Amino acid sequence: MTECLQSCLSDCLCLSFQICHNECQLCSSNKDLTPSDWMENPDCVAFEFWKNERENELDKQQCDQGCMTSLNCCVTSFPCLHGGKCNVAKQYSEQRFVCKCSNGYHGYRCEKSCSPGFKGINCDEPILSCRGYNNGSAVSGYYTIFGGKNNHTYTVFCDFSSNTTWTLVQSYSFENKDQFQLPFSVSNASNQGNAPFWKSYRIYKSKMNSIMSDSTKWRFTCNYDSNGTVYIDYVRGLTTELDMIHFNSERCVKVQYINVRGWDCTDCMVYMKQVHDIPLHVRIGICQFTNVDNLKECHDNGAAWNETSFGYYGLLQHRTSMFIFIVCHNTILAGWVKPHFYHLVYKPYYYIRGL
C-alpha cells in the first residue's frame, strides 16, 4: 500500500488509487466526481484523498514508518502544459493542482489555445499591448493584440530585447518624413496592414489610446537593432510625465534618459514640443539637457534656433551656398555634418512600454 500511495502522491493527476490482487492502479477521479464509475469489488481495496482536519492522521493510520505523505506533485509530475505554472491546490476533493497558464492557453492543464489577442484561463482577457505576451521567454516579432475604435484584433511589432516590453506605434524612414509631420493627437495612420511596414507606419489614434492604457513608458529610438537596444540617439520617459497623445504644448519634460550623439542625461528635464500642426519632438540645448557638444544652430532673419531631434523635419536651402540643410521649422537638424547624426534622424521609432 505504501508504494502505491507514494506513486499517487507523486502524480498530480491521481485523485485516488486502488490495489487489486497486489497490483497498484492510479485513478484520475474519485467517488465524489464520478460516483457511477465506482462499484464494489471484493478483490480490490480503494483509497482516496479527503480534507483531514487533524494533520498527519493519515500518516499514523495508513502509512508505514518513514514514508512521505506531503509530496509536492507539481515538482514530481509537471501536469501543466505549454509552459503553465503548477500550484498545489488547498483541497484534494476535485483536483490536487491549479495551473496558471501561459499567454494564449487555458484549460485544466493549459491544453487549450486561446484565439489570437486573448489570454486568461477562459481566454476572455483581451491583450491590449505587447505586455500581454511577456512571459519571460517571448521573442521580438509580430504579435496580435486587441483594441481600437471598433474593438478588434490587429498585428503589432513587439520588442522584448531589453528585458522590458515595447509596442511599436510609429516608424518611418527619412524619405517618408513628410507623411509624419503631424502630432499624435491626429489619427494619421499609415500602412495599417497585417504587419507594420517599417519605412512608413503609424497606428490609428484609437489603437494608440488602447495601448497607452496598458503602458507606463514611451521611448524614441533610431533604427531598430535586432541584437538589442542601442542607447545612443535615444530618449525614454514615463507616461505620467508626458502623455504623448494628448500633449499640446512646449515645455520642459522630465525624462528617464536621453542620449544624442553620445551626450546623455539621466532623470533630467528636456524641452519637448507638440502642437496642432507640429509633431512631438525634442529641442536640444534648453532646460537641463544643455551639455551636447558642438550644438547646431540655424540663423534666420537675425534669430538663432537650436537643433531638434526625434521627428520634426523640413528643408531649407542655404542662401549663400549649394548646401541643403535638414531643418525643423526654423531649427536646423545637422544631419549633413556627421553620418552618425544623420543616422539619428533617419528612422525614428516610437514605442510604448507595458507595465
> CA–CA distance from 261 to each of 25, 101, 234, 242, 287 (Å)?
70, 44, 9, 23, 18
On the 0-12 / 13-18 / 19+ scale of CB atoms within 10 A, 277 is exposed
Work out the average pLDDT over 224-245. 81
- pLDDT tens string 19-66: 998 899 998 888 777 777 777 788 888 887 765 555 444 444 455 555
Q: How far apart are CA 258 and CA 41, in angstroms?
A: 76
Strand partners, 149: none
Check pLDDT > 80 for residue 350.
Answer: no
Binning pLDDT at 50, 70 and 90, where does residue 249 land? Answer: very high
Confidence of residue 273 (pLDDT cuts 50, 70, 90): very high
Residues 244, 248, 251, 257: what is their CA dihedral angle, to the nearest 10 degrees? 10
| Average pLDDT over every residue of 192-218 | 83
Model pLDDT for residues 332-345, shown as the tens digit of each residue = 222 221 122 222 23
Whole-structure pTM value: 0.66
- The pLDDT-based confidence of 328 (bands split at 50, 70, 90) is very low
User: Region 93-113: what's the mean pLDDT?
Assistant: 83
Specify the pLDDT at position 170.
Answer: 86
**Per-residue confidence at 100, pLDDT binned at 50, 70, 90?**
confident
Q: Check pLDDT > 50 for residue 329.
A: no
Calpha distance 165→168 (Å, rounded): 10
Torsions phi, psi of 301, nearest 5?
55, 40
pLDDT of 280 over the 70 cut = yes
Do 249 and 265 touch, CB atoms closer than 8 A? no
- 310 vs 324 pLDDT, higher one: 310
The separation between CA 324 and the C-alpha centre of its own chain, rounded to angstroms, equals 41
Measured distance CA(348)–CA(343) in Å, rounded: 9
